[in-house]
């Protein structure tokens, strides 16, 4: 079955880079997502990567996918206090219903 694991907490200093890691078990996963949840708000799709890609960059965000190790990471460059949130890793596959399977979420705490 599908399973997505990620660490629960990450604390970084403002201006440093943050790297949030995720592992998944389903090798047929087609889409891998990062969602962000700010306090009091819903999950917001931050970025996603297709399984045939190794890397995707979008401004301060870099997603790296190691398909062999089933490892996904999200790097946030120059982390700001506004980046403090819970970050959810999720995967979904083509041929299914694209319902994402989520991890528990990583709480990113950015301190001055």
Partner 1 sequence: EPEVTQTPSHQVTQMGQEVILRCVPISNHLYFYWYRQILGQKVEFLVSFYNNEISEKSEIFDDQFSVERPDGSNFTLKIRSTKLEDSAMYFCASSLAGESSYNEQFFGPGTRLTVL
Segment (H or E) for 39: none
Q: How far is the CB of 26 from partner 1 (least distance, A)?
A: 14
51 binds partner 1 (CB under 8 A): no
CA distance 19 to 41: 22
Given candidates 1, 40, 82, 112, which one binds partner 1 under the rule CB under 8 A? 40
Chain residues 67-106 in contact with partner 1, contact rule CB under 8 A: 88, 90, 96-105
Cα distances from 108 to residues 25, 51, 101, in angstroms, run: 24, 25, 20
Nearest-angstrom CA–CA distance, 39 and 42: 8
Q: Least distance from C-beta 17 to partner 1, angstroms?
A: 26
Applying CB under 8 A, the residues found at the interface with partner 1 are 4, 31, 35, 40-45, 88, 90, 96-105
């Amino acid at each position: 079955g599908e399973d997505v694991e990620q660490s629960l907490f990450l604390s970084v200093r403002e201006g440093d880079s943050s790297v949030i890691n995720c592992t998944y078990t389903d090798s047929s996963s087609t889409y891998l997502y990062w969602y962000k949840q700010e306090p009091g708000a819903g999950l917001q799709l931050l970025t996603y990567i297709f399984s045939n890609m190794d890397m995707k960059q979008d401004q301060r965000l870099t997603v790296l996918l190691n398909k062999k190790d089933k490892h996904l990471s999200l790097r946030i460059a120059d982390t700001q206090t506004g980046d403090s949130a819970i970050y959810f890793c999720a995967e979904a596959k083509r041929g299914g219903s694209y319902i994402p399977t989520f991890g528990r979420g990583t709480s990113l705490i950015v301190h001055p």
